[in-house]
Amino acid sequence: MRHRILLVDDEVDILEFIGYNLTKEGYEVLTAENGAEALRLAEQYRPHLILLDRMMPVMDGAQTCRAIRENPKLSDIMVVFLSALGEEDQQLEGFGVGADDYLTKPIKMKLLISRIQALLKRIEISDTSTSESQDLIIDPEGHTVTCYGQRIALPRKEFALLTLLYSRPGYLFSREEIYQQIWGSEVVVGDRTIDVHIRKLRQKIGDNHIVTVKGVGYKYE
């Protein structure tokens, strides 16, 4: 699947730079310079992900994200804020209007691409996560998991971790890969963070899905 990404920023040089790098990675890229234009393009082209600035003319990022979430035709699109507004309350406001992730400028392009890849993996598994014959069903849009017919709501990081492992059954993810994909290289977390999240997942979905390879990492079977 070739994913389509809509970049929204009022700084043309940022659109050109990020757009160029994402195109090199094989993504189909659209650009808009304000929120109103972004909504028009989103309805016309249905991007898989929108990378959205906060401070823009005509319609700012928060207003745009809220409008996306309130539009049934667009509500399933992933929205990621990329903004110079990086204070905790500003990030919480972003998540409060429906963002899937919040990144702050400036950001290294490799890290940005890595975070985008991690989010888009949820879409890649959507076709295989709806079969009623499966004992574990992941709903990327609803951010829920159904295990043996019981619906389970997971915290954001637990859901992201399960989705990552589920995206490649049988593949052994190293601890370093998991840290990079889920927490990012610029976030400092404790050595036992992954273990705690795995333990909590096993308590909720059972012990028969997530396999530990001691000293290396985890895989989904």
**Average pLDDT per 10 consecutive residues for the chain, totaling 221 residues:** 89 94 94 95 93 91 92 87 87 88 89 88 55 64 77 86 86 88 69 84 84 87 80
Q: What does DSSP say about strands 210-213 and 173-174: parallel, antiparallel, or unpaired?
A: unpaired
For residues 149 and 158, the answer to whether their CB atoms sit within 8 Å is: no
Q: In what order do the strands lie in the sheet with 136-139?
A: 136-139, 144-147, 150-153
One-character DSSP codes across the chain: ---EEEEE-S-HHHHHHHHHHHHHTT-EEEEESSHHHHHHHHHHH--SEEEE-SS-SSS-HHHHHHHHHH-TTTTTSEEEEEES--SHHHHHHHHHTT-SEEEESS--HHHHHHHHHHHHHHHHTGGGS--TT-SEEEETTTTEEEETTEEEE--HHHHHHHHHHHTSTT--EEHHHHIIIII-TT----TTHHHHHHHHHHHHH-SSSEEEETTTEEEE-
For residues 141 and 152, the answer to whether their CB atoms sit within 8 Å is: no
Give me the pLDDT at residue 139, please.
Answer: 79
Give me the pLDDT at residue 128, please.
Answer: 46
Give me the pLDDT at residue 49, please.
Answer: 94
Give me the pLDDT at residue 14, please.
Answer: 93
Q: In what order do the strands lie in the sheet with 217-220?
A: 173-174, 217-220, 210-213
Q: What does DSSP say about strands 150-153 and 173-174: parallel, antiparallel, or unpaired?
A: unpaired
Give me the pLDDT at residue 185, please.
Answer: 64
What does the alpha-carbon distance between residue 219 and residue 221 come to, in Å, rounded to a whole number?
A: 7
Give me the pLDDT at residue 207, please.
Answer: 78
Quote the tokens at residue 68: 């996306």
pTM above 0.85, yes or no: no
How large is the C-alpha radius of gyration of the chain? 18
Give me the pLDDT at residue 127, please.
Answer: 46
